[in-house]
A and B are shown apart, each in its own frame.
Chain A
């Protein structure tokens, strides 16, 4: 069992009691809600005649169902309109702060909370969304929960949970040029597999992680869940503190000094004990692309899709399914596979630095005429900053459509969907069957820079050929 890791420290701090069944009752410091997984939780409160215990510890925004073309109300989609209205009503009734469309602070919940300074080291953070692991980039212990647990957090500010084991993933050396956080995390998931993280929190550490910006660290922790780990985190450092400083909800004045003092004490001890340790050499990683139907089925841009015979019996079963679904051949190069849709956005890669990198690739270039390309900023703040820097214009000039913030085609709950068996190059996080809105649509996950390169060439390409 792990000892003296950040997870141990934060867990112990937030432990309210040991429950009769043997799991722990854990206090949730920050609860984030959105329109998809909260209505039934509020409904359950009503059924049980319960109130929200600490309304000021829950913050809401709307992201999954929002249209990205025309956000005027009422939404064209009646069901989407009903969902946003329900969230508005619930927040009003229970006095929960809601960052609605047009507030300047709306966006994907995992983009919004960090950029407002709500996400801070040492907190426990929960949200009815599996990508809550994103917030671990700040040294918080953050995890996705289901709707029944959303109900429990609303009613009690606590949940019942078994303590997670801790696996440290030590990333040596540095990423090479044209290789990004997305490539690193796809590589890690490929190495360890999509279920290796079950029962674990992943602690990402080492020189390659230290080197990353906060937004890149969020990309890494975001995808912990794709490796099976409900929670992923990085010990906070000076980069963490300076990212938070002066944000809207960050501690101010003398509180800032107190916060800083406490945050600096928060990290895994040098001689802490882990349940498992893994080493990765970051310098050997190439731009990475998925070819199958799980985020673990990825290869470097210059590699070939594996042969079935090379795979372990377990991997083989899913690979067979992937070949049938994707209609790719064993041994085929991933490079030059034609793409029809290019999507830049999501809680994984929809932040300002992602847009900057993609815009740099796209500047003075044109999107292939066979490609429909669109960019969905992660939040209103991201969109506004991009416009201030003129990035929106670079995207538009290249042939990308510039959209309004939301989750969009990461999970296709709005009208942004693949059609038929289209192949998409996507900066999102899941290449599951049907994930992007068409029951036979095909998703290739990659970094935003690689999506930009694919958009220009109309096929999977090595972005390093576009950057000097």
Chain B
């Protein structure tokens, strides 16, 4: 494990480290947390990890910890290492691969999910920090029988090419419509300012979102 106190000198002749990674740092440091939501989440699961009662600080990990996550209206019990990001927990542990990991450092919004209806980058958040919150993913936006009006508008306007950024785009735009039923194109541009699309589909994301807003207002 990298020693975070030493600089990562690229000219070291014997050198097998990848430098300091966020995940490595978290694991090396263990994870201490005093958040009540976190404690409730792990205690509700009767976790051994949460039995440290004679201290105000609870230490989890570095091994897997059982937690409960509320995702798309259902409670899921998963066993994850505390360093697991929400994006990884969704994709790897819950099999919800609609949420994409693209930059893995909060620069592209491909991993956008809602935390209590607020869009967040799920790659920048630990899964344990989502305990006690309602997570909504792209899989939870529509029902089996009926797509969200925004999803229908995305298809109609061809607001996608390869489609890899699309779930994040949809989650960002749908969050905008929750908050602002009368968006302007400027509002849409602002709402997806962090969502990168390499195929260059932005113009059609604008038009799809504006049309969906109109349809939702009429509905």
Does A pair with B? no
